Amino acid sequence: MTKSAGARVRAVAAEIVDAVVSRGQSLDAAIAANESRVAPDDRALLRMLSYGSLRHHWRLQCWIDRIVSKALRKRDRVINALLAVGLYQIAEMRIPDHAVVSETVEAARHLQRPKLAGLVNACLRRFVRERIAACEPRDEQSEWNHPSWMIETIRKDWPDDWQAILSANNDRAPMWLRANTRENSAQEYLDRLRDAGIEAELIEGIPEAVRLAEPQAVLNLPGFVAGDVSVQDAAAQVAASWLLCDSLSERTAARVLDACAAPGGKTGHLLEIGPDDLSLLAVDSEESRIVSISDNLQRIGRDATIIAADASKPEQWWDGVPFDGILLDAPCSASGVIRRHPDIKLLRRASDLAGLAVSQQALLEALWTMLAPSGTLLYVTCSVFAAENDEVTGQFLESHDDAIENDVLQNNNIHDLMRRKACGYQILPGTAGLDGFYYAALQKRRFPEDTDVPAEHF
Q: Can the peptide bond before residue 454 be classed as cis, meaning omega within 30 degrees of 0?
A: no
Concatenating the DSSP letter of every residue in 118-186 gives HHHHHHHHHHHHHTGGGSPPSSHHHHHTS-HHHHHHHHHH-TTTHHHHHHHHTSPPPPEEEE-TTT--H
Q: Looking at 58-62, 279-283, 428-432, 454-458, which range is the least confident one?
A: 454-458
**pLDDT single digits (tens) 110-159:** 999 999 999 999 999 999 999 988 888 889 999 999 999 999 999 999 99
Residue 157 belongs to a domain: no
CATH number of 111's domain: 1.10.940.10
CA distance 19 to 289: 23
Segment 49-74, tens digit of pLDDT: 999 999 999 999 999 999 998 889 99
Are 15 and 47 within one domain?
A: yes
Check if the beta carbon of residue 23 is closer than 8 Å to that of residue 346. Answer: no
Confidence of residue 249 (pLDDT cuts 50, 70, 90): low
CA distances from 371 to 255, 324, 326, 374, 404 (A): 10, 6, 7, 8, 13
**Measuring CA to CA, how many Å separate 95 from each of 26, 101, 313, 332, 341?**
27, 10, 53, 37, 24
Q: Are 229 and 300 in contact (CB under 8 A)?
A: no
Is 266 a member of any domain?
Answer: yes
- 223 and 278 together in one domain: no
Q: Is residue 429 part of a domain?
A: yes
Which of 211-246 are b and which e, b meaning 16 or more Cβ less than 10 Å from the residue's Cβ? bbeeebeeeebbbbeebbbbebbbbbbbbbbbbbbe
* pLDDT higher than 70, residue 409: no
Q: Report pLDDT digits (tens) over 374-395.
A: 999 999 999 999 999 999 999 9
The answer to whether position 335 is within a domain reads yes
| Enzyme catalytic residues | 382
CA–CA distance, 382 with 364 (Å, rounded to integer): 16
- Residues 30, 9: one domain? yes
pLDDT of residue 456: 40
User: Residue 410: its pLDDT value, please?
Assistant: 59
Q: What is the pLDDT of residue 457?
A: 38
Mean pLDDT of 430-456: 77
- Dihedral angle sign, alpha carbons of residues 214, 294, 208, 161: positive
Instruction: Provide the domain count of the chain.
Output: 3
Percentage above 70 pLDDT, the chain: 94
Residue 368 belongs to domain with CATH number: 3.40.50.150
How many residues belong to the chain?
A: 458
pLDDT band at 99 (very low <50, low <70, confident <90, very high): very high
Query: Which of 133-142, 308-317, 326-335, 424-433 is predicted with the least confidence, judged by mean pLDDT?
Result: 133-142
Tell me what pLDDT residue 246 has.
47
- The mean-pLDDT minimum among 71-75, 404-408, 427-431 falls in 404-408
Average pLDDT over all residues of the chain = 93
Model confidence at 271: pLDDT above 70? yes
Q: Nearest-5° angle of CA 28, CA 18, CA 86?
A: 105
Query: In which domain, by residue range, is 183 found?
Result: 176-227
pTM of this prediction? 0.93
Q: Is 445's pLDDT higher than 70?
A: yes
